[in-house]
Amino acid sequence: MTLQIAVLASGTGSNVSAILDASEEGRLDARVRIILSNKSDAPVLEKARKRDIPVWSRSHRDFVSREEFDKAMLTVIRNAGADTVVLAGYTLLLSSMFIQAFPGRILNIHPSLLPSFPGVRGGGDALAYGARITGVTVHFVDEVMDNGPVIIQAAAPINSSDTLENLMPRIHSLEYRIYPQALQWLAQDRLRISGRRVTLLPDKRPHASSASQGQSLLGPWLVSPSLETF
Ligand code: GAR
């Protein structure tokens, strides 16, 4: 069923662009109904306006508590007709009240192989640590930052000569593939959560490309479960 998406974002919005492109090109069965940000100058808002996506932007500091801020977002999201929440570089933790309002329907992307290097600098922290393999994770959201059940991960090698400037574009290019893929699986109702584990059900449509026939190796990158259409 077509996902009705509300995006929460605080930054550049390049993942939002990838999701919008995938949806416009018919690879992702989703419609972005609204983009919300806690930062009024976030470049993602300009990107949204250029594509005629409604935006909502308020600082959480204007509210008496974070729960009140989240309640305001919840009302906006419901009024926009969204049923799925996509975090794309959103810098605030969500309250339990908000998370419980969308059971199994809030996703996040993080630029490391969780549980390694959670937080706001996942890519840079992996590089500074000296890790030789890092990557990207898409996961369901729970009350703890960068913690919920993992849907898909993609691994990428770190070369000894890498800097943040050349590592992050490689990380981002993986993000732009695995986030729309995870959302497409959600749209197809093929994800099942049991405790910390997420199962991807087979695609029952005739002529579907099954995960086992999809791409698990993209050059030096390993992706699990395998990509299908992305
Ligand atoms: C992305 O790299 C995403 O993985 C990261 O923020 C960036 C947003 O970029 N998220 C986190 O670090 C979550 N802890 P974008 O605004 O260009 O999509």
> Which amino acid belongs to residue 15?
N
Summarize the confidence of residues 214-218 as an average pLDDT.
77
Superfamily of domain 109-182+215-230: Formyl transferase, N-terminal domain (3.40.50.170)
Between the CA of 170 and the centroid of ligand 1 the distance, in Å, is 13
Pocket probe for ligand 1: among 8, 38, 41, 110, the residue whose CB has the most ligand atoms within 8 Å is: 110
pLDDT for position 229: 83
Summarize the confidence of residues 51-62 as an average pLDDT.
97
The Cβ of residue 100 has, within 10 Å, a number of other Cβ atoms equal to 10
The DSSP line for 149-168 is -EEEEEEEE--TT--HHHHH
Is the pLDDT assigned to residue 213 strictly greater than 70? no
In this structure, are residues 37 and 77 in contact, taking their beta carbons and an 8 Å threshold? Answer: no
Name the burial class of residue 28, with classes exposed (0-12), middle (13-18) and buried (19+) by CB atoms within 10 angstroms of its CB.
Answer: buried
Summarize the confidence of residues 208-221 as an average pLDDT.
68
Alpha carbons 41 and 170: distance in angstroms, whole number: 26
Question: What stretch(es) of the chain map to CATH 3.40.50.170?
Answer: 1-102, 109-182+215-230
In this structure, are residues 14 and 176 in contact, taking their beta carbons and an 8 Å threshold? Answer: yes
Is the pLDDT assigned to residue 211 strictly greater than 60? no
CATH number of 1-102: 3.40.50.170
Mean pLDDT of the chain: 95
Displacement of CA 115 from its chain's centroid (Å)? 16
Is the pLDDT assigned to residue 212 strictly greater than 60? no
Structure confidence by residue, pLDDT tens digits, 116-125: 999 999 999 9
pLDDT for position 120: 94
Cis peptide before 43 (omega within 30 of 0): no
pLDDT for position 219: 73
Structure confidence by residue, pLDDT tens digits, 152-193: 999 999 999 999 999 999 999 999 999 999 999 999 999 999
In this structure, are residues 18 and 85 in contact, taking their beta carbons and an 8 Å threshold? Answer: no
139: annotated active-site residue: no
Summarize the confidence of residues 110-130 as an average pLDDT.
97
In this structure, are residues 171 and 165 in contact, taking their beta carbons and an 8 Å threshold? Answer: no
Is the pLDDT assigned to residue 215 strictly greater than 80? no
Q: Which residue has the tokens 């549980």?
A: 115
pTM across the whole model: 0.95
Pocket-forming residues, ligand 1, beta carbon under 6 Å:
9, 11-15, 44, 88-89, 109-111, 120, 122, 146, 175
CA-based radius of gyration for the chain: 17
